[in-house]
A and B are shown apart, each in its own frame.
Chain A
Amino acid sequence: MTYLDNGATSFHKPESVMRAMRCALENCANPGRGGYTAAMSAAKTVLRCRERAGELFGCAPEQVVFTANCTHGLNIAIATLVKPGSRVVISGFEHNAVTRPLHARKAKVKVAGRKLFDWEDTLREFEQALHSGADAAIFTHVSNVFGYILPVEQMAALCKHYGVPFVIDAAQSAGMLPVNLIELGADFIAMPGHKGLLGPQGTGLLLCGREPVSLIQGGTGSLSAEQDMPDFLPDMAEAGTLNVPGIAGLSAGIGYILQTGIDGIFRRQQQQAQQCGEALEKMGFRTFLGEHQGGTVSFVPDMDCEEAAQFLGEKGIAVRAGLHCAPLAHESAGTLDTGTVRVSFGHDAAPCQTGNFLLQAEKMIARSQKNSQ
């Protein structure tokens, strides 16, 4: 199989991730719940992951909160910053992981910047929205549909200028682009553990630039005589037993990235996405390509996008079609009615993947032409 659905999850994990998970299952009990060897092994595994994440994302280990996924982290961040009626500025490329929690909290949402790959438009619209009054801003680092890399450093600077707390959704950038909590000055940065960080599913991180609310309450292994949740990080946001095997795998994934270097990973992905996109364009597909683009490219096939992905899937090419849980992004790009087929490269991006995909894309065209005759 040629796996090109890394926007959904990374699939070919480093061997070290699997070894670490097995090791945790064999050696780790419950962290922070006992002083015996297996409990302390678990605690060490967890701390090691916090430290590696802190190293990669420029923050203290205590600022790293484990979540079940990126959506979980975003929900904590949104619950902390957004009250019913809060005015919230978002980009035109947000995922449902942002828009649905905002809808549920009855926030007044202002969408700013809807032109793909256009930093000038994004920044102008974003500043106008902040200037007209906002209680919070939430924006994605990279569009999960189109690979558009938003100018997050400048957007962060604008938020600080206007005194607006902000959240960055790093679902598609963590492990691929520089993300630094302190330098960005973000209130929260949420990310999955299972995409660019190469950990297993069921893991995520919330980097906390401020104290979050506790979405759930329960045991933390600390201050147990108190009925209030602990008032310090990370315990205040981590009720219940942690996913230690998952965290062990995530730690190994982050370790792999620290060793390999994100620059090399990103360049490989970007190069393949660009070559792939240019070839699709030459084939006549409506393809979304731009200057500020990462390792993801979307196109509109000349048949139903789900049928196209199904055809490719049967030929051993794994891509994702439809709306990608991001109707707002599709609305911004004008593809809400058709959807797109998304090709997203991972840490193992290679020319042979692009070649395999393009070969089957040509066969898809041939079949489509045959069916239309």
Chain B
Amino acid sequence: MRKCIITFRSVTPAQRAEEVLHRAGVECVVQRTPKWMEEKGCGYSVRLDRQDVMAAAMLLRQAGISFKKTYALSDSGAPEELRL
């Protein structure tokens, strides 16, 4: 299953996002944002299945949780920024 990463400014919105997504039945985990994705240094993100990313973005916007960027990871792990 291809994965996506949604990045956040800090741990608090990432955790709140995890809660919102879990409540909606979307599987995800909070993790540190890979260094190269976070140009301002240190952040948190949620990792989830590619198929859930559109619904996740909508849920987060509805909950008023702002996120920074969204990346899709290929099977080899190569990332591609998504424009949602």
Picked from B12, B32, B39, B43, the residue with its CB within 8 Å of the CB of A62 is B12
* Contact assessment for B9 and A222 in the assembled complex, using a CB-CB cutoff below 8 Å: yes
Which residues on the B side are within 8 Å of A226 (C-beta)?
A: 40-41
**B51 close to chain A: CB less than 8 A:** no
**A240 close to chain B: CB less than 8 A:** no
* Contact assessment for A221 and B11 in the assembled complex, using a CB-CB cutoff below 8 Å: yes
Question: Shortest CB–CB separation between residue B36 and chain A, in angstroms?
Answer: 12
Interface residue SS majority, chain A: loop
Picked from B10, B44, B64, the residue with its CB within 8 Å of the CB of A230 is B10
* Contact assessment for B41 and A47 in the assembled complex, using a CB-CB cutoff below 8 Å: no
Question: Shortest CB–CB separation between residue B23 and chain A, in angstroms?
Answer: 13
**B30 close to chain A: CB less than 8 A:** yes
- A211-240 residues with Cβ-Cβ distance < 8 A to B are 220-226, 230, 232, 234-235
Picked from B11, B16, B40, the residue with its CB within 8 Å of the CB of A224 is B40
* Contact assessment for B30 and A40 in the assembled complex, using a CB-CB cutoff below 8 Å: yes
* Contact assessment for B41 and A43 in the assembled complex, using a CB-CB cutoff below 8 Å: no
* Closest partner residue, chain B, to A36 (CB atom): B32
Interface-forming stretch among A27-35, A76-84, A124-132?
A27-35
Which residues on the A side are within 8 Å of B42 (C-beta)?
A: 221-225
**A44 close to chain B: CB less than 8 A:** yes
Per the bound structure, the CA–CA distance linking A225 and B40 in Å amounts to 5
* Contact assessment for B32 and A47 in the assembled complex, using a CB-CB cutoff below 8 Å: no
Per the bound structure, the CA–CA distance linking A224 and B39 in Å amounts to 10
Per the bound structure, the CA–CA distance linking A223 and B39 in Å amounts to 8
* Contact assessment for A235 and B10 in the assembled complex, using a CB-CB cutoff below 8 Å: yes
Question: Shortest CB–CB separation between residue A160 and chain B, in angstroms?
Answer: 23
* Contact assessment for B39 and A222 in the assembled complex, using a CB-CB cutoff below 8 Å: no
* Contact assessment for A35 and B10 in the assembled complex, using a CB-CB cutoff below 8 Å: no
* Closest partner residue, chain A, to B40 (CB atom): A223
**B79 close to chain A: CB less than 8 A:** no
- B4-51 residues with Cβ-Cβ distance < 8 A to A are 9-13, 15-16, 30-32, 39-44
* Closest partner residue, chain A, to B15 (CB atom): A47
Which residues on the A side are within 8 Å of B16 (C-beta)?
A: 47, 61-62
**Chain B CB within 10 Å — which of A222, A224, A234 has the most?**
A222
Picked from A40, A61, A230, the residue with its CB within 8 Å of the CB of B9 is A230
Question: Shortest CB–CB separation between residue B41 and chain A, in angstroms?
Answer: 3
Per the bound structure, the CA–CA distance linking A93 and B63 in Å amounts to 40
| 5 sampled A-B residue pairs with Cβ under 8 A | A223-B10, A225-B42, A230-B9, A230-B10, A235-B10
